[in-house]
């Protein structure tokens, strides 16, 4: 069980780093937005690339931050049954949810976005059709990367749930709000 727990900690650390990167990308998107507004309305200068860059930064932040949000238990839950059952039952609900929903969906989305979205864009070095537009293949890479990170984090969460069932790890299954 220890190698799996070490894997889980490594994935948590990796996604913690990507979560911090997502925070920085949000800040940069705000700076780009403010700069673009100043250029557009203050100096009557307008170009498309700052607006596209802002979208890219927000999109990358969402895709790179989703796995860290899962690790921090920050995703929305519907708590109709979950809040009224034992901790052991909560662990089993999480395990089945991870195995039946999160992992298959994210693995499928990672593969599909790699094969049908990123690779065709990379092959032609796709650029925006807007004047002064940015390359599109870097942001399209964020989809398979983000879903891949979610798969890794899902596996990490699965390891934690099984370790908690075996008594090897103490896990807080009270999900009223994310822990700070």
Q: How far is Cα 14 from Cα 56, in angstroms, rounded to an integer?
A: 22
Of the chain, the end-to-end C-alpha distance in Å amounts to 28
DSSP per residue over 53-81, as a string? HHHHHHHHHHHHHHHHHHHTT-S----TT
What percent of the chain has pLDDT above 90?
Answer: 58
The fraction of the chain above a pLDDT of 70, given in percent, is 88
Compute CA distances 126 → 3, 115, 135, 175, whole Å: 42, 15, 6, 43
DSSP secondary structure letter of residue 135: B
Instruction: Name the DSSP class of 128.
Output: -
Each residue's pLDDT tens digit, 88-122: 988 898 899 999 999 999 999 999 999 999 999 99
Q: How many CB atoms lie within 10 A of CB 35?
A: 13
**Residues 118-163: pLDDT tens digits?**
999 999 999 888 777 789 999 999 999 999 999 999 999 999 999 9
DSSP per residue over 79-110, as a string?
-TTGGGS-HHHHHHHHHHHIIIIIHHHHHHHH
- Contact between residue 146 and residue 25 where contact means Cβ atoms under 8 Å apart: no
């Amino acid at each position: 069980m220890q190698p799996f727990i070490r894997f889980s900690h490594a994935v948590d650390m990796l996604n913690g780093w990507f979560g911090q990167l997502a925070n920085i990308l949000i800040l940069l998107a705000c700076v780009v937005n403010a700069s673009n507004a100043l250029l557009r309305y203050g100096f009557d200068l307008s170009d498309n690339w700052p607006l596209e860059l802002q979208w890219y930064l927000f999109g990358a932040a969402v895709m790179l931050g989703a796995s860290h949000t899962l690790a921090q238990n920050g995703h929305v839950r519907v708590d109709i049954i979950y809040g009224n059952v034992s901790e052991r039952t909560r662990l089993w609900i999480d395990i089945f949810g991870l195995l039946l929903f999160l992992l298959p969906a994210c693995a499928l989305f990672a593969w599909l976005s790699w094969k049908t979205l990123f690779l065709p864009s990379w092959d032609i070095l796709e650029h925006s059709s807007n004047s002064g537009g940015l390359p599109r293949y870097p942001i399209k890479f964020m989809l398979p990367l983000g879903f891949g990170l979610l798969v890794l984090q899902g596996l990490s969460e699965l390891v934690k749930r099984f370790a908690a069932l075996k008594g090897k790890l103490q896990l807080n299954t009270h999900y009223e709000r994310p822990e700070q």
